[in-house]
Amino acid sequence: MEIIVCIKRVPKTAEADLVIDKTERDIEKEGLVFDINEWDNYAVEEAILLKEKYGGTVTAISMGPEEVNETLRRALAMGADQAIRLTDPGFEGSDGYAIARVLSRAINPLAYDLVLTGVQAEDDGYGQVGPTLAELLGIRHVAIVNQIEGIENGRARVHRELEGGLDEVIDLELPAVLTIQTGINEPRYVSIIGIRKVAQKEIKVLGLQDLGMKLEEAGEPGSMTVVEKVFFPPVGEGAQMLEGTMDEISDKVIAILKEKGGVA
């Protein structure tokens, strides 16, 4: 089974104080820590588990500058066999659609049974790349997959998560794109020794020309959406900031909850 997994390197923003940059169309990335997008981590793990079960190879693909090699190496250390990095000044400013198009050009000439992506990215949260990629490759897709039950005779049985805790079970013909939900597995730890072991592995680099693409097919010209402005949500009413030591703050919280009927 030949599996391709598309991954993205994203800034980790949960603990950081975000600042909007001068263009007002993005955040300051300086000083932020980058790592693999959480959903993609589950996708890589799932790809490796499938390989361990059914044999074959796993190819990790990502788009972006040289730093992205770090994320690809991480995938190699988890057990991927090959890595491809797509990079070109012409790719900059691509929206989900343009990214899917670049990915589709890179994936098209490869042999594959399955393409896995994360459901969405932590940074922009669009969730478009997977389904759009499937359309552009002309193959089936299932989004928000939380279990791959089995693969047999060129068909896969997968579960997808619906609202209210319902599971939908789908039987589909391969090749296909599956967008992977967090929690589908337990991604393994990647040790520093593991990363050192793959430090010399080749990462194939492809640009606009290598993919036979024209300037207007990627980047902002090739996108269907443009980010005009990024801003913090306006400060609303009703928030109350509590000050003091941990103990004082906890006492105040309990008093408020009691007063408002939250606890007896």
| 241 makes contact with another protein (CB under 8 A) | no
The residue written with tokens 């089974």 in the block is 1
Residue 14 structure tokens: 């949960």
Site for another protein in 32-51 (CB under 8 A): 33, 35
Given 180, 190, 208, 218, the residue binding another protein (CB under 8 A) = 190
Q: Which helix (DSSP H) or strand (DSSP E) does residue 181 occupy?
A: none
CB of 225 to another protein, least distance (A): 31
CB of 31 to another protein, least distance (A): 6
Whichever of 16 and 111 has its CB closer to another protein, that residue is: 16
Binding track over 65-104 against another protein, x by CB under 8 A: -------------x--------------------------
How far the first Cα of the chain sits from its last, in Å, is: 58
Given 29, 196, 214, 258, the residue binding another protein (CB under 8 A) = 196
SS3 state of residue 252: helix
Residue 64 structure tokens: 């972006």
SS3 state of residue 75: helix
Residue 204 structure tokens: 């194939």
Give me the half-sphere count of Cα atoms (radius 13 Å) on the Cβ side of residue 38: 11
| 234 makes contact with another protein (CB under 8 A) | no
| 194 makes contact with another protein (CB under 8 A) | yes
Give me the half-sphere count of Cα atoms (radius 13 Å) on the Cβ side of residue 119: 14
Write out the residues near another protein by the rule CB under 8 A: 12, 15-17, 31, 33, 35, 78, 186-196, 246
